[in-house]
Structure 1
Amino acid sequence: MSAFRAGRAAKAWAGAETAAIPFGHPEVDAATAGLRRGALHDVSPAGAPDMAAATGFALACAGRLLSAAGRGSLWLWVRAEMAGREAGEPYGPGLAAFGLDPSRLVAVTAANTADVLRAAEEGLAARAFAAVLIEPFGDDRHLDLTACRRLSLIADGGRSTGILLRTGGAPGPTSAVTRWCVAAAPSSGGPHPGNPVFAAELARNRLGPVGAWMMEWRIDEQSFRAPRLRHRAEASGSLAVPLSGRLAAASGDRSSRPAGPAAVVPFRAR
């Protein structure tokens, strides 16, 4: 990134208000008063299968911050090298399909957690980024409460917002304003692919109550909302379709009944 572009982004972002911005989901906004800027937020997967969901939720939060910061704003993604090996590297067309402009991304890969934290601190202090996504990997002694406090203080002083994405390890101690535990949820697109939906639990909230909600990321609007879930009861009370009782269609060119018991082939060791 050129020095000119970084300076221009810093000026654009420095003029933005540091107040919270709404998630777009009424119940979540009522509990959190919005996504607070100039602070650190913590995002963890509910389980190993939910790493992609947690990443998507963190990216959606970054999208909200970028939308509020306006045109010309940049965002930083600092990742541990192991995170890229396990989950893959950021993919430009995929980010664009999610509503994030990859040309505004500054991606940094660090060898270990200590380097991730060091780069994240520099990014937060620079005041050049609307969002700083911080992704170490696994359980590491460097990612302790002291490290989180440093990130929180720098974010507060630099008017930047940090999103600590914990992948590959258990949630550790944190000083973040909010801590989210995220799992995947069914899309609300009916029979077709729809917007991503997250089962998001607010496990820590320094500014209000905690809770759990279904949150749909509206890609076109870069905002969350309460989803219209397929498994919610409609007027009939159910979306389930009863089974016909047949397990498989009959064969069209041969008998659907088995010809007889299968042959048993003995195994002989050589």
Structure 2
Amino acid sequence: MDREAVVELWQEVEGLRLHGWQAGPTKAGPKPAPVVFLLHGGGVDSAELSWCDTLPALAASHRVYAFDWPGYDQSQAAPGVSSLDLYSRLLVGLMDGLGVVQASLVGISMGGGAALLFALTHPKRVERLVLVGSYGLQRKAPWHFLSYCFVKWPALTRWSYAWARKRRSRTAWSLQTILKRPGSITERLVDQVSAAMRQPDVGLAFQSWQRHELQKSGLRTVLVDRVGELQMPVMIVHGGADSLVPLAAAREAKAINPAIRLEIMDGCGHWTQRDWPDEFNRLVRDFLGS
């Protein structure tokens, strides 16, 4: 990120010390600048890893915040189970602590699920909602039973992280699951992900969330049937080649609520904002400014 434009900050919510970044003006003329929160996903993700190209791009017109969820990057880990309910509560606390009454939310994957739950629970606090390869829209995980078995074996999960981080080439290879556009797996990105994978306790918070969400017969949190309740402007951004959250889930949400704007990024995988950052940022800027 452009360190001259982005400021590091800390907030305490529910006894947890959360690390984040902020950028952009506090005022837009005589009025407060519109606010947007960027919510990262799971795995080894973080606010900086997901949003390093998006946060500065939105800061010209918005006050932008991006925080690490508990147990990710520099944020304190939460005791007990990691869940979307926890993340939704923490977002309330972050907004209250920062004096933000209403904000737009942009959430990727697990962060999209948190954004969607928050928008359904606190609709008056959400100006606009952007769901990116969002959790909460699908009813089952791809290869659901195998995924269920995998997350129930912590030793196997730990081994997979250890295997991927042992060699830089393995880290780059693992990114092919979520990045599909030619040239998107850059040296810079591999460096960033490699550094994230070397952090102590990496992946533990995500594993807790996975064990909570993946049930034998399906996913615990399925919110797609409720998208018709959303009254604020909503945009779904989805990679056309997303193998983690199938495009069919986004299409179902659009069918349930035709007012949703669906943008399909052709040739992109699950991590669209790192797969094609310029186009992703253009779509989000256009939507937030419309």
Same-fold call, TM cutoff 0.5 = no
Hey, which of these two has a bigger chunk of helix by percent?
Answer: 2
Q: What interval of TM-score do these two structures reach, taking the shorter chain for normalisation?
A: under 0.3
Scaled by the length of structure 1, the TM-score of the pair is: 0.26
Higher relative contact order at CA 8 Å, sep ≥6: structure 1 or structure 2?
A: 1
Scaled by the length of structure 2, the TM-score of the pair is: 0.24
Bigger radius of gyration among the two: 1
